[in-house]
């Protein structure tokens, strides 16, 4: 099955590049709301499931045990830009578990945020693992290990208790088997498991609506959503799509990007979960697709609509600020 064209990028009067993809929107009872393209093909959710990977930290009372703040809980779900506040909060999480950056096993890269990258270079600094966009998630993993009496060493490994707890949570909420035969290694070295988009969407529908969840999972999901809605900067960073969208919509939309064109969302007031992938892995396409679905499903006032339109249909300008192209959204997305 060929996935349809969903996002076109124009230049002048012509379409310059085209993105295909697949989309699944499911409600908290598991009924299909929208299905586009081949949704049976398994997709690595990558960082789009960080909020689900953070569930055990709260379900097991570890966030309370260490007195994690809302900022810290939000950062545990983040693919952050490595800005100073992200680094500070990741270090604070580790300190609460009596650990430091030396325990992080995510690897090191320069800050994903361009300004943060240059600021670090300008002060003569070099990056450490706290600047890794996954450092908040990993700090959460280390808290989870320490809080449950496990040695955090090797926590990224598939057989470490942390990754076993994380996999159980993912299987539980999505209803999909997470098998080694369909696993890969993520950018930050933890396992990632390929599952179908409707399972991912179903997980995020339950995550948003709080339905069909055990009491501790429901409470954990609600706390994560509220923490992220209160601190959307923490999950991404300056100018980023997730931060900008949740700045506009607060608790009405939980959205999270993943690498290779994956996006997941919960629209709690509708009880919908969303999972999508751009075939080619392109982030601009995945963002436009997610923006289109927000425009389609969520009731918005004029101001909100205009702000979301700017995210869903960005105008591309060149180095002199001249408009050179636009994003065109398929009617399949907009309904």
Residue 279 touches its own copies, criterion: CB under 8 A = yes
Residue 12: left (phi > 0), alpha (psi -120 to 50), or beta? left
SS3 20: strand
- Note whether 318 binds its own copies by CB under 8 A: yes
Is residue 312 within a helix (H) or strand (E), and if so which, with residue range?
helix 302-312
Decide if residue 118 touches its own copies (CB under 8 A): yes
Give the one residue of 30, 107, 154, 314 binding its own copies; rule: CB under 8 A: 107
Stretch that binds its own copies, among 70-78, 80-88, 112-120, 268-276 (CB under 8 A): 112-120
* 3-state class (DSSP) for residue 24: strand
Smallest distance, its own copies to C-beta of residue 282, A: 6
Helix (H) / strand (E) containing 62? helix 62-65
Number of residues that bind its own copies (CB under 8 A): 55
Query: Closest Cα partner for 9 from 18, 300, 1?
Result: 18
- Span interacting with its own copies, options 80-88, 91-99, 200-208, 276-284, rule CB under 8 A: 276-284
Say how far apart CA 58 and CA 307 lie, in whole Å.
33
90 vs 209, beta carbon nearer its own copies = 90
Host H or E run for residue 173: helix 161-174
Please name the residue that has the structure tokens 């498991």. 193
Q: Which of 24, 47, 81, 117 binds its own copies (CB under 8 A)?
A: 117
**Reduced to 3 states, what is the DSSP secondary structure of residue 26?**
strand
Segment near its own copies (CB under 8 A), from 76-84, 116-124, 145-153, 244-252?
Answer: 116-124
Residue of 1, 14, 102, 159 interacting with its own copies (CB under 8 A): 14
Q: Which of 299, 303, 319, 331 binds its own copies (CB under 8 A)?
A: 319
| Residue 106 found at the interface with its own copies (CB under 8 A) | yes
* Residue 102 vs 299, nearer CB to its own copies: 102
Exactly one of 92, 238, 282, 328 binds its own copies (CB under 8 A); which one? 282
Distance CA 123, CA 109 (A): 17
30, 33, 60, 182: residue in contact with its own copies (rule CB under 8 A): 182
Total H helices, total E strands in the chain: 15, 12
Q: 35 vs 108, which CB is nearer to its own copies?
A: 108
d(CA 163, CA 158): 6
Q: What's the Cα-to-Cα distance from 170 to each of 105, 187, 199, 302, 307, rounded to whole Å?
A: 21, 18, 10, 37, 33
> Which positions touch its own copies (CB under 8 A)?
2, 9, 11-14, 16-20, 42-44, 105-110, 114, 117-119, 121-122, 124, 132, 181-189, 192, 194, 260-261, 278-282, 285, 318-325
């Amino acid at each position: 099955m060929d996935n349809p064209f969903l996002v076109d990028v124009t230049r002048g009067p012509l379409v310059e590049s085209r993105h295909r993809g697949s989309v699944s929107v499911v409600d908290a009872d598991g009924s299909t709301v929208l299905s586009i393209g081949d949704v049976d093909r398994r997709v690595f959710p990558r960082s789009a499931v960080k909020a689900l990977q953070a569930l055990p930290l709260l379900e097991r009372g570890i966030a309370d045990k260490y007195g994690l703040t809302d900022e810290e809980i939000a950062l545990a779900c983040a693919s952050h830009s490595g800005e100073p506040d992200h680094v500070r909060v990741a270090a604070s999480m580790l300190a609460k578990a009596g650990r430091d950056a030396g325990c992080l096993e995510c690897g090191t890269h320069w800050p994903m945020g361009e300004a943060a990258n240059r600021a670090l270079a300008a002060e003569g600094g070099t990056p450490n693992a706290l600047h890794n966009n996954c450092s908040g998630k990993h700090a959460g993993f280390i808290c989870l290990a320490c809080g449950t009496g496990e040695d955090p060493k090797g926590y990224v490994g598939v057989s470490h208790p942390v990754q076993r707890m994380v996999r159980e949570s993912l299987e539980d909420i999505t209803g999909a088997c997470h098998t080694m035969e369909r696993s890969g290694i993520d950018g930050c070295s933890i396992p990632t498991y390929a599952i179908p988009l409707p399972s991912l969407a179903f997980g995020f529908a339950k995550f948003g609506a709080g339905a069909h969840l055990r009491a501790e999972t429901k409470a954990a999901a609600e706390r994560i959503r509220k923490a992220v809605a209160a601190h959307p900067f923490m999950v991404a960073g300056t100018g980023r799509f997730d931060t900008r969208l949740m700045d506009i919509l607060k608790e009405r939309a939980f959205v999270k990007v993943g690498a290779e064109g994956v996006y997941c969302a919960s629209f709690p007031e509708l009880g919908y979960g969303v999972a999508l992938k751009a075939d080619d892995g392109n982030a601009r396409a995945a963002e436009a697709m997610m923006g289109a679905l927000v425009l389609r499903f969520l009731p918005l006032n004029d101001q909100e609509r205009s702000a979301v339109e700017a995210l869903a249909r960005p105008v591309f300008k060149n180095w002199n600020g001249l408009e050179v192209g636009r994003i065109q959204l398929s009617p399949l997305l907009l309904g």
